[in-house]
Amino acid sequence: MFDTDKIRKDFPILSREVNGKPLVYFDNAATSQTPKQVIDVIVDYYSNFNANIHRGVHTLSQEATDKYEAARHTIQKHFNAKHAHEIIYTAGTTNSINLVANGFASLLEKGDEIIVSALEHHSNIVPWQMLCEKTGAVLKVIPMNQNGELLMEEYDKLLNENTKLVFVNHISNALGTINPIKEIIDKAHKHGAAVLIDGAQSCPHIKPDVQALDVDFYVASAHKMCGPTGVGMLYGKEEWLNKLPPYQGGGEMIAEVSFEKTTYAGLPHKFEAGTPNICGGIAFGAAIDYMNTIGFETIANYEHELLEYATKKLLEIEGLKIYGTAKNKTSVVSFNLEGIHPYDVGTILDKMGIAVRTGHHCAQPIMDYFKIPGTIRASFAFYNTKQEIDALVEGVKKAQRMLS
């Protein structure tokens, strides 16, 4: 049995009120809440061993370094990377993607092709467009159907000997679709192309195994999986990370520096210029530990129950349409009320203490596909409850009465 009452006690913020009503937090796809187990680690860091890492001989610096590197091992183990140095700390998913896109600028030529999907977040479109501008490579898009599922036959047709890179998110943040990434990876590899999977939206729900997937790059943000903002990771296969040039120059990423020549440090430091988010990295490890104590299978099963319950209840409202009806989807419900702007609904829900996201969810091409300005998106986490979904349904009905 899944004890949500007990789990909710781990999250101090869930007991606060908003506009005089108990907070109902359904914006988990934008950022997740932080359990006290992770908050404690952050407080402990600044209270007891805040120091710069890797350089100091003094005790605090060594303690901070040990914890930071231990967290890297926690991340390595969680994603089942072969080596700890294949885990690069970054500022988050966007930063990880830009690091790879920047690196590929020196590996691509005019006429090379990059494939992305119709379901991408802006952070997985714009860096590739910039890369194409720089290199003369061409961007191709895997289209989707009305359910928000990628058309795999079309993907087959896009792949050819010019394909150098494929970039797809594991789960769409706007619609919740879980993409068939193993098939996408295997097919790309048959054509000699590398694959980067954006795991920002999957890591809160799924425990990916990068070796079993045989993926070349996998990226994630801590703040979507119970960790702090401003920290994330890039997993890259050792051979790929060795091929890519450094992203930024500075301290920590060098072996030797003179004005004539600089040699770069080995992995992972080659990609970690400057003082990193030390506390964030340590807290990222703590967040992964926390989620693993609950268990990803338990999380996925419970969230699926929430998804089914919310879908059923919301569809009972007349004039409500759900966008994203893929067979394989996670706990995100994107919807609109006929004739009503999503923003207005979001504003009324906030008055009732219910936090949802409204707008294009950084995925404008998806909204264009459905010919809508945006949606109301409720995204659930394992600490949400069916009673909260009931409150959402009541809130949406009330908003509909007030606005029509």
Q: What does the binding site for ligand PLP look like in residue numbers (CB under 6 A)?
A: 92-94, 121, 123-124, 169, 173, 198, 200-201, 221, 223
CB-based contacts of 127, cutoff 8 Å, min separation 6: 97, 98, 101, 102
Cα torsion 211, 124, 174, 300 to 10°: value is 10
Measure Cα distances from 376 to 25, 129, 322, 335, 368 in Å. 14, 28, 9, 5, 15
Is residue 99 within 8 A of residue 90, CB to CB? The reply is: yes
Q: Minimal distance in Å, beta carbon 196 to ligand PLP?
A: 11
CB nearer to ligand PLP: give 124 or 375: 124
Q: Minimal distance in Å, beta carbon 235 to ligand PLP?
A: 15
Q: Minimal distance in Å, beta carbon 330 to ligand PLP?
A: 11
Closest CA to 24 of 391, 317, 303: 391
CB nearer to ligand PLP: give 320 or 377: 377
CA distance 195 to 165: 6
CB nearer to ligand PLP: give 123 or 330: 123
Q: Minimal distance in Å, beta carbon 44 to ligand PLP?
A: 24
Q: Which one of the listed residues 132, 203, 279, 362 is annotated catalytic? A: 362
Pairing of strands 21-22, 17-18: antiparallel
User: Token pair 């400057």 is at which residue?
Assistant: 274
- Tallying the residues shown for the chain, one arrives at 404
Quick check: is 203 catalytic? no
CB nearer to ligand PLP: give 112 or 303: 303
CA distance 367 to 357: 14
CB nearer to ligand PLP: give 72 or 223: 223
Angle between helices 296-315 and 278-294 (to 10 degrees): 80
Q: Minimal distance in Å, beta carbon 219 to ligand PLP?
A: 8
Residue positions annotated with a catalytic role: 362
